[in-house]
Amino acid sequence: MSAKDSKDYIDKLLQQTYERHGSDLHICSGIFPVIRRDGQLETLTELTAPLAGEDIHAFIMKTLLNEAQQKELQKTGSADAGYQIWSKDGRAIRCRVNAFRDANGMALAFRLIQNRIPSMQELRIPGPLQDIRHRKHGMVIITGPTGSGKTTTLAALLDAINAESPVHIITIEQPIEYQFQMKRAVISQREVGRDCISFLEGLRASLRQDPDVILIGEMRDAETITTALAAAETGHLVFTTLHSANAVEAIDRLVQYFPATRHQEIRNELANSFLAIAAQKLLPSRNGGRVAAFEVLLSTDSTKNVIRSSQGFRIQDYMHRDEGMQTMAESIRGLRNKHLIDG
């Protein structure tokens, strides 16, 4: 199969994923493609044949990745990219793609990106978390496993700021997912690998670009975390993500990027600067699709003291509903009581 044929074949797979309302498409060497719909994997067995490893490799090198991304793939075994085709009804099908090596050769994981940014109300983002958008400085961390909707939650929060406030928003993403239309805000969206060489360099540069609000797509190293905490303490509203199951794990994961000699220092800085840590997961909805459950930890004197004391395991004892907080169990119970999920 030629590189063009590989592209045409993959474009048809993406078209099918879009038409079936799938969220992800997985292409691995020698097996039938698989899509994820409403959280469940479905094999596209009606297709004539799986793609061979050399066909996937041709698409990656000839169509998907630029020179810098190809070097990243060769160096680390994986690379992120963006990709877009047009649907039969004339709409852009935008994707976040990870190309990677596995035991059978090359593989691709596509995440389809919605063109429309849903509202905070549609996502059922808890009111106290929505209210964070009115703050002028501090850090907001959205955490959860891959595919839990973190990016969509952040996009909804930023778009609400965009609609309400004449501020400068800078996003540093890899790749850019939701594309914002400027409303009251000025928005500068920068893509790692295209517009800046790393999250850290993009963040450092952003501090010279007169931002009010900064989105860091992911914090992956100690220097980025240190710079982000400093930005949050010095007059910027900073949004970012981590990969953890709950707020306690998010705190521990952030601290573990640093040597033990700095753990107390980082806990103090986090306690001083954080506004909220929200963990989320997507659950099957009774009406089809999925609905998000949120754990919300807010900054209070009690929660800040617990973070400083290195006793994060006690944090849930201080997550009081009358202060706007809720545990994941409470959120799931609320969804059941509203008959939004089974159980």
Q: Is 70 exceeded by the pLDDT of residue 205?
A: yes
3-state secondary structure 136-167: CCEEEEEECCCCCCHHHHHHHHHHHHHHHCCC
Instruction: Note the pLDDT tens digit of each residue in 226-236.
Output: 999 999 999 99
Q: Find out whether 27 and 100 touch, Cβ atoms under 8 Å.
A: no
- Same-domain status, 165 and 134: yes
Q: What pLDDT is recorded for position 35?
A: 95
216 lies in a domain? Answer: yes
Contact yes or no for 129/278 (Cβ under 8 A): yes
Residue 295, in any domain of the structure: yes
Mean pLDDT of all residues belonging to the chain: 93
Distance, CA of 222 to CA of 16 (rounded, Å)? 41
259 belongs to a structural domain: yes
CA distance 337 to 331: 10
Same domain, 89 and 218: no
Does the residue 342 lie in any domain?
A: no
- Residues 164, 252, single domain; the answer is yes
Confidence tier at 3 by pLDDT (50, 70, 90): low
The proportion of the chain whose per-residue pLDDT surpasses 90, expressed as a percent, equals 80
For 268-311, the pLDDT digits (tens) are 999 999 999 999 999 999 888 899 999 999 999 999 999 999 88
Rounded-to-integer distance, Cα 327 and Cα 257, Å: 25
Please classify residue 307 by burial: count the beta carbons closer than 10 Å to its beta carbon, then call 0-12 exposed, 13-18 middle and 19+ buried.
buried
Domain with residue 324: its CATH number is 3.40.50.300
Distance CA 205, CA 244 (A): 28
* Of the residues 98, 113, 128, the one at which a domain ends: 113
Look at the chain and report how many structural domains it folds into. Answer: 2
DSSP letter, residue 62: I
Which residue among 59, 81, 113 closes a domain?
A: 113
Q: Which of 70, 92, 113 corresponds to the end of one domain?
A: 113
45, 25: one domain: yes
By three-state DSSP, how is residue 94 classified?
A: strand
CA distance 187 to 167: 8
Indicate if the pLDDT at residue 2 is higher than 80: no
Q: Is 83 a member of any domain?
A: yes
State yes or no: pLDDT of 122 exceeds 90.
Answer: yes
- Tokens 């063109």 correspond to what residue? 115
Residue 343 lies in a domain: no
Q: Checking phi first, is residue 165 left (phi over 0); if not, alpha (psi -120 to 50) or beta?
A: beta
Number of H-type helices and E-type strands within the chain:
12, 13
Q: Are residues 82 and 133 in the same domain?
A: no
Alpha-carbon gap, residue 192 to 174, rounded angstroms: 5
CATH number of residue 47's parent domain: 3.30.450.90
**Whether residue 127 sits in one domain with residue 103:** no
Question: Whose CA is closest to 130, among 120, 139, 145?
Answer: 120
- Asked whether residue 1 carries a pLDDT value surpassing 80, the answer given is no
State phi, psi for 46 to the nearest 5 degrees: -75, -10
* pLDDT of residue 4 exceeding 80: no
Residue 28 in this model has a pLDDT that exceeds 70? yes
Question: Residues 213, 172: one domain?
Answer: yes
Same domain, 59 and 152: no
Q: In sequence order, what are the residues at sequence separation of 6 or more whose Cβ sits closer than 8 angstroms to the Cβ of residue 201?
A: none
> pLDDT tens for residues 42-81?
998 776 678 899 999 999 999 999 998 999 999 999 999 9
Quote the pLDDT of residue 48: 61
Calpha distance 20→8 (Å, rounded): 18
User: Are 262 and 327 in a shared domain?
Assistant: yes
Q: Domain of residue 105: give its range.
A: 3-113
pLDDT in tens, 229-260: 999 999 999 999 999 999 999 999 999 999 99
How far is Cα 94 from Cα 112, in angstroms, rounded to an integer?
6
